[in-house]
Amino acid sequence: MSRANKNRRGIADLPSAVLQIPIVCSLIGLWYGLTETDILPKFFFGEPFKVFGVLWHWFTSGEIFPHLGVTLVETVLAFVVGAVLGLVIGLWLALNPTASRLADPYIKAANAMPRVVLAPIFAVWFGLGIWSKVALGVTLVFFIVFFNVYQGIREVSPVLLANARVLGANARQLLRTVYLPSATSWVFSSLHTSVGMAFVGAVVGEYLGSARGVGYLILQAEGVFDINTVFAGMLVLTAFALVLDQAVGVVEKRLLVWRPTHGETEKL
Amino acid sequence: MNTQTSAAAVAVAGVAAAVPGLALENVTCTFRAAAGKGGYTAVKDVNLTVGAGEFVSVVGPTGCGKSTLLNVSAGLLEPSSGTVKVFGEPLVGMNRHAGYMFQAESLMPWRTALDNVIVGLEFRGVARNEAVARGQDWLQRVGLGSHGHRYPHQMSGGMRKRAALAQTLIMDPKIILMDEPFSALDIQTRQLMENELLDIWSADRKSVLFITHDLEEAISLSDRVIVLSAGPGTHPIGEFAIDLPRPRDVSEVRLTPEFVRLHDEIWHTMKEEVLKGYVQSQQK
Ligand SMILES: Nc1ncnc2c1ncn2[C@@H]1O[C@H](COP(=O)(O)OP(=O)(O)OP(=O)(O)O)[C@@H](O)[C@H]1O
Ligand SMILES: [Mg+2]
């Protein structure tokens, strides 16, 4: 495409950052303009420079880091516990047609239930510490991983299984060398979604009642109608989610080297 | 069965062996139809033996049931009726003496070529460094010496086939089942691999049941060629002893008048069935 109309350098040929930065700046400008002139009330929409002030204070004083740390720990724990449970139960049900037939309606029902309503129950069961947030994240992550693994195991190539059996694999070796790698590859293919869900679980959990974490900061600020801090918290969460997603991308690339990707040739 | 050469004569001509390595006796396979009643009888009343140390090829039209027969021989598929005997013993469950090279892709995509080749040794509990050494040796023999680190998707179709061959042969099976193993290779590589296979086979005479579409390949490799009828209800319709002298070079043997005569004779039997098979596969 770009080669065909080389001499007609269009807007599409510019590096995307060149376009994206002005867009962000003008949006902030618009926000600033509308709130300064009181077209939008400052009380509800905040002021961009005060929001940046809050961010500046959080990061220079280091006040934000313990909260970020707590949110990160909750996210990681929710992901790990949810993924392991989803993997084990997904494998078990996929390899046990009877069990799977019995469990099917319950799993569908549990997945259909809006998980947020569980948050108050988890708060009662696990207290206001990190575990109630982890539990909420787990309920979100579990189903994504579970369904992926279940489907993945059902679709393992029969030739691959037959080949392993001819080569002398017993049931345990079959599980270890065929089913498990196949299942984990499905876990990793849903990595972005499930890590995102773990994060959502952590933040929503914090927001609904906690003593620490970024969600807690937002909750606190909202309580005293400090809209600028709420916005600052939202920005931190967004940036954090992006960083998390990048990290997942790196991990994914390392773990799935055996996956065919198209266009792997190197440019000269 | 109008066999051109009786099985007894072949046994005398071939390796002196009382008990065949593999024997299918009156094997019938009926696949259950997807919807309700009926079913498809792919193979019917097949009697087939592979003597100990004998190289037998099976040719037949597409879809006639060649892979089905191999699956039965490997113990992956239980015949609807009939028995399979392995060195005289009736087969129950998997055939522990057999190595099977599948027609479809069978390498594990998450393992490198080397790790795929040694997976059978791993199942057997061979120590890792010994397995790796033997795996390297086998990769060398199939011409993949420097490609051990590649994943299946980084190899060509032919390279994957060769890795699969090494994966099967490293286990040193007494019976080798091969389902069109070389059809993905170009003619030169193919002849190299065929010669390599003959070398390996003649070194310690295994029983080989070899399936191919290619009549020339069947004749140049085998002691005996079996022709199957078109399906449904496939059964052998011809059996030909190939008494070309060994050791053979697969590319040279094709030029001998004896080869040409055998080829004509077998092709004459096959021709009709191939046409029937083609018509049937179109109707299905
Ligand atoms: N699991 C199955 N269920 C139903 N029908 C089957 C099944 N497997 C094979 N068949 C049928 O049995 C017949 C024989 O199949 P098979 O794979 O043995 O053929 P083949 O001789 O190996 O063919 P090709 O040379 O094309 O590989 C085919 O008509 C096929 O449709
Ligand atoms: Mg086949």
Local confidence pLDDT in tens for the 284 residues of chain B: 444 444 444 444 444 446 899 999 999 999 987 766 678 899 999 999 999 999 999 998 888 899 999 999 999 999 999 999 999 999 999 999 999 999 998 999 999 999 999 999 999 999 999 999 999 999 998 889 999 999 999 998 889 999 999 999 999 999 999 999 988 788 888 898 899 899 888 888 899 999 998 899 999 999 999 999 987 889 999 999 999 998 899 889 999 999 999 999 999 888 887 787 777 777 75
Nearest ligand by distance to the CA of B71? 1
A255: which chain B residues are within 8 Å (Cβ-Cβ)? none
> Which pLDDT does position A152 carry in this prediction?
87
> Which pLDDT does position A20 carry in this prediction?
84
> Which pLDDT does position B101 carry in this prediction?
95
Together in a domain, A139 and A244: yes
The parent domain of residue A172 ranges over: 58-255
> Which pLDDT does position B17 carry in this prediction?
47
Together in a domain, A138 and A17: no
- CA B24–ligand 2 middle distance (angstroms): 18
Q: Report how far residue A144's alpha carbon sits from residue A138's, in angstroms, rounded to the nearest whole number.
A: 10
Say if A267 falls within a structural domain. no
The closest residue, in CA terms, to atom 26 on ligand 1 is: B62
Single-letter amino acid code for the residue at A110: A
> Which pLDDT does position B200 carry in this prediction?
86
> Which pLDDT does position B14 carry in this prediction?
46
Instruction: Say if residue B262 is exposed, middle or buried (CB neighbours under 10 Å; 0-12, 13-18, 19+).
Output: buried
Residues A111-115 have a mean pLDDT of 87
Question: How much is the CA Rg of chain A, to the nearest whole Å?
Answer: 24
CB proximity list for A31: less than 8 A, separation 6 or greater:
A45, A48
What's the whole-model pTM score? Answer: 0.81
The pLDDT mean for chain A works out to: 87
Together in a domain, A183 and A122: yes
Q: How far apart are the first and last CA of chain B?
A: 27
Residue A36: band (very low, low, confident or very high) from pLDDT cuts 50, 70, 90? confident
> Which pLDDT does position B272 carry in this prediction?
80
Task: Count other Cβ atoms within 10 Å, centred on residue B37.
Answer: 6
pLDDT higher than 80, residue A141: yes
Residue with the bigger pLDDT between B189 and A86: it is A86
Segment 35-94 of chain A within 8 Å of chain B by CB: none
The binding-site residues of ligand 1, defined as CB within 6 angstroms of any ligand atom, are B 31, 40, 42, 62-68, 103, 231
B102: which chain A residues are within 8 Å (Cβ-Cβ)? 159, 162-163
Residue A4: band (very low, low, confident or very high) from pLDDT cuts 50, 70, 90? very low
- CA A232–ligand 1 middle distance (angstroms): 65
CB proximity list for B226: less than 8 A, separation 6 or greater:
B48, B56, B57, B58, B59, B236, B238, B239, B240
State the SS3 of chain B: CCCCCCHHHHHHHCCCCCCCCEEEEEEEEEEECCCCCCEEEEEEEEEEEECCCCEEEEECCCCCCHHHHHHHHHCCCCCCEEEEEECCEECCCCCCCEEEECCCCCCCCCCCHHHHHCHHHHHHCCCHHHHHHHHHHHHHHCCCCCCCCCCHHHCCHHHHHHHHHHHHHCCCCCEEEEECCCCCCCHHHHHHHHHHHHHHHHHCCCEEEEECCCHHHHHHHCCEEEEECCCCCECEEEEEECCCCCCCCHHHHCCCHHHHHHHHHHHHHHHHHHHHHHHHHHHC
Give Cα separations from A39 to A32, A36, A211, A225 (angstroms).
10, 8, 36, 19
Single-letter amino acid code for the residue at B252: E
Q: Is B100's CB within 8 Å of A163's CB?
A: yes
> Which pLDDT does position A267 carry in this prediction?
57
Q: B3-97+175-283: which CATH number, 3.40.50.300, 3.30.1490.190, 3.30.70.100, 1.20.1250.20?
A: 3.40.50.300
A266: which chain B residues are within 8 Å (Cβ-Cβ)? none
Instruction: Say if residue A66 is exposed, middle or buried (CB neighbours under 10 Å; 0-12, 13-18, 19+).
Output: exposed
> Which pLDDT does position B13 carry in this prediction?
44
> Which residue is it, tokens 């037959």?
A162
Q: Report how far residue B199's alpha carbon sits from residue B168's, in angstroms, rounded to the nearest whole number.
A: 16
Together in a domain, A123 and A199: yes
Q: Report how far residue A163's alpha carbon sits from residue B101's, in angstroms, rounded to the nearest whole number.
A: 8
Q: Are strands B89-90 and B81-86 parallel, antiparallel or unpaired?
A: antiparallel
At A41, which helix (H) or strand (E)?
none
Together in a domain, A81 and A29: no
Lowest mean pLDDT among A64-68, A168-172, B32-36, B174-178: B32-36
Which of A167, A179, A186 would you mutate first to test chain B, the one with the most B CBs within 10 A?
A167
A179: which chain B residues are within 8 Å (Cβ-Cβ)? none
> Which pLDDT does position B123 carry in this prediction?
95
Strand partners, B24: B48, B84
Tell whether A124 is within 8 A of chain B (Cβ). Answer: no
Say if A262 falls within a structural domain. no
Does the N-terminal peptide bond of residue B232 adopt cis geometry, omega within 30 degrees of 0? yes
> Which pLDDT does position B4 carry in this prediction?
45
- CA A250–ligand 2 middle distance (angstroms): 42
Q: Report how far residue B265's alpha carbon sits from residue B271's, in angstroms, rounded to the nearest whole number.
A: 10
Residues A123, A234 contacting (CB under 8 angstroms) = no
Q: Is B110's CB within 8 Å of A185's CB?
A: yes
Q: Report how far residue B72's alpha carbon sits from residue A77's, in angstroms, rounded to the nearest whole number.
A: 49
Residues A91-105 have a mean pLDDT of 89
Say if A180 falls within a structural domain. yes
Nearest ligand by distance to the CA of B64? 1
Interface residues of B toward A, Cβ cutoff 8 Å, are 71, 74, 76, 94-96, 98-100, 102, 104-106, 108-112, 119-120, 122-124, 151-153, 167, 171
| Extents of the domains making up chain B | 3-97+175-283, 103-172
Say if A120 falls within a structural domain. yes
Together in a domain, A79 and A19: no
Residues A185, A156 contacting (CB under 8 angstroms) = no
> Which pLDDT does position B282 carry in this prediction?
75
* Chain B residue at shortest CA distance from A258: B110
Q: Is B123's CB within 8 Å of A178's CB?
A: no
Together in a domain, A14 and A136: no
Together in a domain, A18 and A140: no
- Could you tell me the CATH number of the domain that includes residue A237? 1.10.3720.10
Q: How far is B9 from chain A (nearest CA, A)?
A: 32
pLDDT higher than 80, residue A262: no
Together in a domain, A24 and A85: no
Q: Which of B45, B65, B63 is nearest to B1 (CA)?
A: B45
Q: Which of B214, B167, B185 is nearest to B66 (CA)?
A: B214
Task: Count other Cβ atoms within 10 Å, centred on residue B80.
Answer: 17
Together in a domain, A83 and A137: yes
Q: How many domains does chain A have?
A: 2
Q: Report how far residue A231's alpha carbon sits from residue A218's, in angstroms, rounded to the nearest whole number.
A: 8
> Which residue is it, tokens 């140390």?
B53
CB proximity list for B265: less than 8 A, separation 6 or greater:
B4, B240
Q: How far apart are the first and last CA of chain A?
A: 19
Q: Report how far residue A246's alpha carbon sits from residue B246's, in angstroms, rounded to the nearest whole number.
A: 63
- CA B232–ligand 1 middle distance (angstroms): 10
Together in a domain, A29 and A65: no
pLDDT higher than 60, residue A147: yes
The closest residue, in CA terms, to atom 6 on ligand 1 is: B31
Instruction: Record the tokens describing residue A176, joined without a space.
Output: 């270890």
Together in a domain, A173 and A225: yes
